[in-house]
Amino acid sequence: MNQEQTTGHLPRRPGRRPLVERTERETVGQTAVENPRMSCQNVGVFYDSKKAISNICLDIGRNEVIAMIGPSGCGKSTFLRCLNRMNDTIEGCLVTGQILMDGKNIYDSDVDVVPLRAQVGMVFQKPNPFPKSIYDNIAYGARIHGLVQNRDETDELVVGSLKRAGLWNEVKDRLEMPGTSLSGGQQQRLCIARAIAVNPEVILMDEPCSSLDPIATAIIEELIDELKQDYTIAIVTHSMQQASRISQRTAYFHQGDLIEIGPTDQIFLNPLHQLTEDYITGRFG
């Protein structure tokens, strides 16, 4: 557990340029990246005609960890759930705008959500292992997608996924135990293992560590750091320290608007927007 605290709340450099006013809600910072994995254009979400987020433009780059921070109810989780259309399950939810993946809008009527979700996996705030054995938890996704043909392949996949999620040594003797019998941190790593078992390209994480203790959190942060070599990871977090430790880019949301997006160091050391500075210096939120 040799987690390095790279940044904290450092004092601002004196003599910087003036900040954007609090009333200004246009996104500041670099929304676009070169060769993005997913590209969101003017995304808005309404719950029963009540606006949750609006006018979000944001690119998600390849093999990057992008963190989304902001006060509660700012729409960061709503935005995250747009990326694999998990909002479809909420009755009365309407998504506007475009989210392009491989040049195709995922909200087009001819897009099937099932392969999309296999491509864009998700890990939730509360660990939600299925009420099945540890083995079946991992094998479930691969089986329904036909990624494995026989018991040997399944074994290999289960072992591989558990190893990648750093859970193998802890559970190798009890794969037939129910997934719910594990501790909270282990359950969350099981959920990550379950997500990577279907071989997604993007992994969405919605406050994956908020119900975990600091040690379990550190293990998962290390894991995220390793996973970014193969996957694109978008993570919503309440912990600014966590965002600064694990992400390359950070997006700050406020009351349904994307206020600022930029390299993580810049957001935390030298934000452009007054609201961002208020938040990271702990003035609210």
* Of residues 75 and 121, the one with the C-beta less far from other proteins: 121
Residue 127 Cβ, how far from other proteins at the closest point, in Å? 9
* 114, 153, 163, 177: which one binds other proteins (CB under 8 A): 114
Q: Which helix (H) or strand (E) holds 28?
A: strand 28-29
Residue 269 Cβ, how far from other proteins at the closest point, in Å? 34
- Calpha distance 232→145 (Å, rounded): 21
Residue 91 touching other proteins (CB under 8 A) = yes
Task: Determine whether 21 is exposed, middle or buried from the number of CB atoms within 10 Å of its CB (0-12, 13-18, 19+).
Answer: exposed
Both tokens assigned to 127 = 């660990």
DSSP H helices, the chain, are 76-82, 113-119, 134-144, 151-164, 168-171, 184-197, 214-227, 240-246, 264-269, 274-280
Residue 214 touching other proteins (CB under 8 A) = no
* 27, 39, 84, 161: which one binds other proteins (CB under 8 A): 84
Contact track, other proteins, 27-56, x by CB under 8 A: ------------------------------
**DSSP classification of residue 133:** B
Residue 177 touching other proteins (CB under 8 A) = no
Residue 208 touching other proteins (CB under 8 A) = no
Residue 89 touching other proteins (CB under 8 A) = yes
- Calpha distance 270→272 (Å, rounded): 7
Contact track, other proteins, 116-155, x by CB under 8 A: xxxx-xx-x-x-xxxxx-------xx--xx----------
Given strand 257-263, what is the order of strands in its sheet?
Answer: 28-29, 257-263, 249-254, 65-69, 232-236, 202-206, 120-123
Residue owning tokens 């987690």: 3
* 160, 166, 178, 263: which one binds other proteins (CB under 8 A): 178
Chain residues in the site for other proteins (CB under 8 A): 84, 86, 89, 91, 114-119, 121-122, 124, 126, 128-132, 140-141, 144-145, 178, 180, 191, 194-195, 198, 204
